[in-house]
Structure 1
């Protein structure tokens, strides 16, 4: 079963992306480097609660 999560930019805190997470990944918070439209560059995006 997968769970839908929202990703927020580390620098500007804008919530830009939505993705899914599997049962195996649920132990820790997801972190992906993505492009932020607000910052205008690639930044780390973290899973929000």
Structure 2
């Protein structure tokens, strides 16, 4: 039997750096660099840096 192929894209969780517990879920290329975005955090009501974490 042939081994299963890995997917080209993976799901990641973008967690707020303001430590509010708020997160976005998105996908990225498996071989790409880790991502981080400035996005809106409704808990603190401002744009903050969101950094990538694995989905557990």
Q: Common fold, TM-score beyond 0.5? A: yes
TM-score under structure 2 length normalisation: 0.70
1:33 maps to which of 31, 38, 42:
38
TM-score under structure 1 length normalisation: 0.78
Unpaired stretches in structure 1, ≥5 consecutive residues = none
**Conservation of the 8 A alpha-carbon contact between 2:22 and 2:41:** no
Q: Which residue of 2 aligns with 1:46?
A: 51
Displaced runs of 4+ in structure 1, greater than 3 A?
A: none
Number of residues paired by the alignment? 47
Matched, 1:20 2:27: yes
Cα RMSD (Å) of the superposition?
1.5
Partner of 1:43, secondary structure, is strand
Name the structure where helix makes up a greater proportion of residues: 1
